[in-house]
């Protein structure tokens, strides 16, 4: 049976590009304009799997998506790193001087802010999705309006690229995670990365002690993100990504961390895409 994959964005979006490259088999893509809708489709079993951007090398973490995965008890079963090239596009025959407004996803606007400092006449407006703006410009033949999107979107919606690779830092990469309702079947031979969440007692040295355990057990910390615990002022949950050479090292570290933490939760155990 064809796997149903929920993505944020439409055909031509970066999530769509990931859906076409991550899976070995042909999948049925189900587009949604918000991550909340993506998650709801997974919970309601409308979709089998979801793809969610989690962090960007320029703009940092996409905090709400950590909360979505944690709050709904979803599981990360894989990851994919995509080189993000942002391009300014509009209807054919226009120049950058003709453009009065640019609509795009807030993350894309943030990643391209230095480019637009050179064009102060352009008004930047936040929107839901990069490719959806490109489609809207094409469908409604909107003059004086531009989108920031992929080359694929420009090709799909017959738009002209006015400026290539306009992101501030040219090497711009986004980490996407593959999310499912249930954890993946464990393969200790290929599983070498984990995402975990823990809460610690609010006392001096508690986080340092936890990090020391990771180091002692040969676990490499690749990401740490804190989020406030809403119902407890000034208490934080830590979301951590760790990689390891031996699954036995991870099992040992996991057992110790469970004893040390007030709360400990595995968000996913999967294959490191960077190795």
Report which of 216, 219, 173 is spatially closest to residue 196, judged by C-alpha positions: 219
Same domain? For 57 and 122 the reply is no
Same domain? For 10 and 61 the reply is yes
Same domain? For 39 and 66 the reply is yes
Total domains in the chain come to: 3
Q: E strands, 91-235, where?
A: 101-104, 123-126, 145-149, 160-163, 173-180, 193-199, 220-228
> Residue 102 pairs with which residues in a beta bridge?
124, 146
Same domain? For 92 and 158 the reply is yes
Same domain? For 135 and 198 the reply is no
CATH number at residue 234: 3.30.70.260
DSSP string, 15-50: HHHHHHHH-SS-EEEEEESSHHHHHHHHHTTS-SEE
Residue 168 lies in a domain: no
Same domain? For 75 and 136 the reply is no
Residue 223 lies in a domain: yes
- The pLDDT value given to residue 31: 96
- The pLDDT value given to residue 274: 87
- The pLDDT value given to residue 235: 79
Same domain? For 215 and 241 the reply is yes
Same domain? For 70 and 106 the reply is no
Same domain? For 203 and 261 the reply is yes
Residue 253 lies in a domain: yes
Residues 6+ apart with CB under 8 A from 6: 30, 32, 38, 41, 42, 46, 47, 49, 50, 51
Residue 140 lies in a domain: yes
| pLDDT tens by residue, the chain, 275 residues | 899 999 999 999 999 999 999 998 999 999 998 999 999 999 999 999 999 999 988 888 898 999 999 999 999 999 999 999 999 999 999 999 999 999 998 989 999 999 999 999 999 999 988 999 999 999 999 999 999 999 999 999 999 999 999 999 988 899 999 999 999 887 889 999 999 999 988 778 889 999 999 999 999 999 999 988 877 777 789 999 999 999 999 999 999 999 999 999 999 999 999 87
Residue 238 lies in a domain: yes
Residue 251 lies in a domain: yes
Residue 241 lies in a domain: yes
CATH number at residue 44: 3.40.190.10
Domain range for residue 247? 193-269
Residue 188 lies in a domain: no
Same domain? For 54 and 76 the reply is yes
Same domain? For 76 and 91 the reply is no
């Amino acid at each position: 049976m064809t796997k149903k994959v929920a993505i944020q964005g439409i055909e031509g979006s970066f999530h769509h590009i990931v859906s076409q490259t991550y899976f070995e088999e042909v999948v049925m893509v189900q587009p949604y304009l918000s991550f909340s809708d993506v998650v709801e489709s997974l919970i309601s079993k409308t979709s089998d799997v979801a793809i969610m951007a989690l962090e960007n090398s320029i703009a940092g973490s996409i905090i709400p998506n950590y909360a979505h995965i944690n709050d709904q008890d979803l599981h990360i079963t894989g990851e994919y790193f995509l080189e993000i090239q942002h391009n300014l596009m509009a209807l054919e025959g226009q120049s950058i001087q003709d453009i009065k407004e640019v609509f795009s996803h807030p993350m894309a606007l943030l990643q391209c802010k230095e480019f637009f400092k050179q064009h102060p006449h352009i008004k930047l407006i936040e929107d839901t999705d990069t490719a959806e703006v490109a489609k809207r410009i094409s469908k409604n033949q909107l003059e004086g309006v531009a989108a920031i999107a992929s080359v694929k979107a420009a090709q799909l919606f017959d738009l002209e690229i006015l400026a290539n690779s306009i992101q501030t830092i040219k090497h711009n990469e986004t980490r996407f995670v593959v999310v499912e309702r249930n954890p993946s079947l464990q393969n200790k031979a290929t599983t070498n990365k984990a995402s975990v969440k823990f809460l610690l007692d609010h006392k001096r040295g508690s986080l340092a002690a936890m990090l020391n355990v990771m180091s002692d057990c040969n676990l490499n910390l690749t990401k740490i993100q804190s989020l406030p615990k809403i119902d407890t002022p000034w208490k934080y949950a830590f979301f951590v990504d760790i990689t390891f050479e031996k699954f036995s090292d991870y099992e040992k570290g996991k057992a110790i961390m469970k004893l040390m933490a007030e709360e400990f939760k595995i968000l996913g155990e999967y294959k490191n895409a960077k190795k």
